[in-house]
Amino acid sequence: MSLYIFKVPDLGEGTVTSEIVAWHVRVGDMVAEDAPLVEMATEKAVVEVTAPVSGRIVALHGELGDSVAVGSQLVVFETESAASPSAAPAVSAESVTASAGAALTAAPLVAASSGRVRASPATRRRARETGVNLAAVMGTGPGGRIEAHDLVAAVGAPGTESPAQISGPAPGTQEIKVLGVRRVIANRLSESARTIPHFAYVEEVDVTLLEGVRQRLNASASSGAAPLTYLPFIVAALARALGQYPQCNAQYDAERNVIVRHSAVHVGIATQTPDGLKVPVVRHAETLGVRALATEIARIADSARRGTCTRAELTGSTITVTSLGKLGGIASTPIINLPEVAIIGVNKALDRPMVVNGAVVIRRMMNLSSSFDHRFVDGYDGAALIQALKALLEQPEQLLPLDV
């Protein structure tokens, strides 16, 4: 018998840490090679990590919500024989008794006060919120690490405070840990709102002619073709309009203090999924026609909702379009998708009475609500981009040569 130490793998894109979202195993479980072990979140996706070997789980390192470094210990297996060389090497049980063996039930409790307090950021935060002195808590984790259940066990112990809330949420409330994609969304949106001086610009667009073109093209579409909504027309028009306003098709590299302008238009499509908001990317939208855009938007949105998008499909957007469809409301103030400098929000289309050539007529109207990073996009340029977009959407025949 030997112990096999599995370390946090590199999940790609230069990831240096990953967040533990869900454990699929417990200490004592027997697992087969390639069986699901844990779900780990990067900034762009949640990745399922599988077992590199078959064996019994003798130690797990990390709690839900912990951010763990690539290369740090994650799982310790007890195996029948040496593991494959593609992962971490197997070691003898004696050589890891002091580290992994500390997690076994036979190990004595270690007083946290005997040295540096070992606890995850989540456990430390919980202790602060509940007023528990971690230095007086006995840790049962590896090397005396204080686990979440140790806080509960510490209630009433000398030197600790024991507020009622440590035992669980108050009656009538529900506590939901912020993990994975939702945590990434929260952090990124907070950073965007905190660091970017947004300015908003809302304009109404007469889409009466566009609605006629859309219905005509849908009626003539081949069987199985993606239905044409307003979105592919908006993306096609945006890709064309950005040629005049490259300062809006850009990303800000804060580390180098450089604005990177792009000739290619990679449009992020904000998509609601069961896991939260994701932004899959339509690449080179400037080369695609309306029908091709409809097909690609449908494909990546469906992939995002099913959780099958690759990391490449969720990165690299140069500008984002966000639409709530029929829930689009009258106006909105979308938050910019870092590191971009602009986002276009699409509100719902409604038939409204409008004055045209001195007469009141019914027209189909839709508002575009945009936000720009005022550090790098002047108000005039942001407004001019939306006016160019409006002009293309109100004369949709200009977009039809792109219908390939």
Which position among 373, 378, 381, 403 bears the catalytic label? 378
pTM over 0.85: no
3.90.1300.10, 3.90.660.10, 4.10.320.10, 3.30.70.2200: which CATH number matches 110-173?
4.10.320.10
Is 378 assigned a catalytic role? yes
Burial class (CB in 10 A: 0-12, 13-18, 19+), 173: exposed
Structure tokens at 240: 């064309």
Half-sphere exposure of 114 (CA within 13 A, CB side): 9
* Distance between CA atoms of residues 130 and 161, nearest Å: 8
Q: What pLDDT does 155 receive?
A: 52
Nearest to 287 by CA among 303, 267, 271: 267
What is the per-residue DSSP string for 246-315?
A: GGGSEEEETTTTEEEE-SS--EEEEEEETTEEE--EETTGGG--HHHHHHHHHHHHHHHHHT---TGGGS
**DSSP 8-class letter at 45:** -
Fold of 181-402: Chloramphenicol Acetyltransferase (3.30.559)
Q: What pLDDT does 19 receive?
A: 87
* Distance between CA atoms of residues 52 and 36, nearest Å: 10
CB atoms near residue 203 (< 10 Å): 15
Residue 299 belongs to what H/E stretch?
helix 290-306
Whose tokens are 């793998």? That residue is: 9
pLDDT in tens, the chain (404 residues): 788 999 999 887 667 888 898 899 999 999 999 899 998 887 767 788 999 999 999 999 998 888 889 999 999 999 986 544 444 444 444 444 333 333 333 333 334 344 567 777 667 767 776 677 777 777 777 667 787 777 766 655 544 444 444 456 778 888 887 877 788 888 889 999 999 999 999 999 999 999 999 999 999 888 888 999 999 999 999 999 999 999 999 999 999 999 999 999 999 999 999 888 899 999 999 999 999 999 999 999 999 999 888 888 999 999 999 998 788 899 999 999 999 999 999 999 999 999 999 999 999 999 999 999 999 999 999 999 999 999 999 999 888 765 54
268 Cβ contact list (under 8 Å, min separation 6): 279, 280, 281, 282, 317, 319, 320, 321, 337, 340
Fold of 2-103: OB fold (Dihydrolipoamide Acetyltransferase, E2P) (2.40.50)
Q: Beta partners for 202? A: 369
Q: Per DSSP, which regions of 96-192 are E strands?
A: 110-111, 138-139
Q: Do domains 2-103 and 181-402 have the same CATH topology?
A: no
Which position among 66, 198, 374, 381 bears the catalytic label? 374
Break the chain into its structural domains and give their ranges. 2-103, 110-173, 181-402
Is 198 assigned a catalytic role? no
* Cα dihedral 297, 299, 300, 302 sign: positive
C-alpha of 333 from chain center = 20
Q: What pLDDT does 133 receive?
A: 77
